[in-house]
Amino acid sequence: MSTRRHFLQKASLTTLALSLPFSDSIAKALGQQEPKVLRVALMGLGSYASRVAEAMKDCSRAKLVGVISGTPSKIEQWKQKHGLSAQNCYSYENVDQIKSNKDIDAVYVITPNGLHKEHTLTLAKAGKHVICEKPMATTAQEGQEMIAACKAAGVQLLIGYRMHFEANTLDIVKKQRAGEFGKTLFFQGLSGFVIGNPSQWRLNKLLSGGGAMMDIGIYSINGARYLLGEEPIWVTAQETKTDPVKFGEGIDETITFQMGFPSGATASCLSTYSLNYLDKFFLSGTKGFAEMQPSTGYGPIKAWTHVGPLQHSHVTHQTTQMDKMAALILDGKLPLIPVDGEEGLKDMRIVDAIYQAVKTGEKVII
Residue 232's nearest CA partner among 214, 216, 220, 240 is: 220
Same-domain check for residues 307 and 295 = yes
Same-domain check for residues 154 and 95 = yes
Range of the domain at 346: 163-313+340-365
Side chain identity at 199, as an amino acid letter? S
User: Which segments within the chain are labelled E, that is strand?
Assistant: 38-43, 62-68, 89-90, 106-109, 129-132, 157-159, 184-192, 234-240, 254-260, 266-272, 278-285, 289-292, 303-305, 364-365
Same-domain check for residues 106 and 199 = no
Residue that finishes a domain, picked among 127, 162, 197: 162
Q: How far is CA 366 from CA 216, 265, 285, 351, 353, in A?
A: 21, 15, 24, 10, 7
Confidence of residue 21 (pLDDT cuts 50, 70, 90): very low
Give yes or no: 219 in active site.
yes
Which residues are within 8 A (CB) of 45 and not within 5 positions of it... i.e. 6 or more apart?
A: 67, 69, 71, 74, 75, 78, 110
Same-domain check for residues 266 and 229 = yes
Tens-place pLDDT, residues 306-326: 999 999 999 999 999 999 999
Name the β-bridge partners of 157.
Answer: 130
Q: Is residue 49 part of a domain?
A: yes
Residue that finishes a domain, picked among 162, 186, 204: 162
Rounded distance, CA 139 to CA 141, Å? 5
Same-domain check for residues 140 and 239 = no
What's the mean pLDDT when you consider all of the chain?
A: 93
Average pLDDT over residues 89-112: 98
Same-domain check for residues 205 and 303 = yes
Same-domain check for residues 184 and 226 = yes
Split into its structural domains, the chain has a count of: 2
Residue 71 has pLDDT above 90, yes or no: yes
Which entry of 219, 226, 273, 355 is annotated as an active-site residue?
A: 219
Residue that finishes a domain, picked among 128, 145, 162: 162
Which entry of 128, 134, 324, 346 is annotated as an active-site residue?
A: 134
CATH number at residue 74: 3.40.50.720
Residue 3 has pLDDT above 60, yes or no: no
Give yes or no: 134 in active site.
yes
Same-domain check for residues 111 and 167 = no
Tens-place pLDDT, residues 129-163: 999 999 999 999 999 999 999 999 999 999 999 99
Q: Is residue 16 part of a domain?
A: no
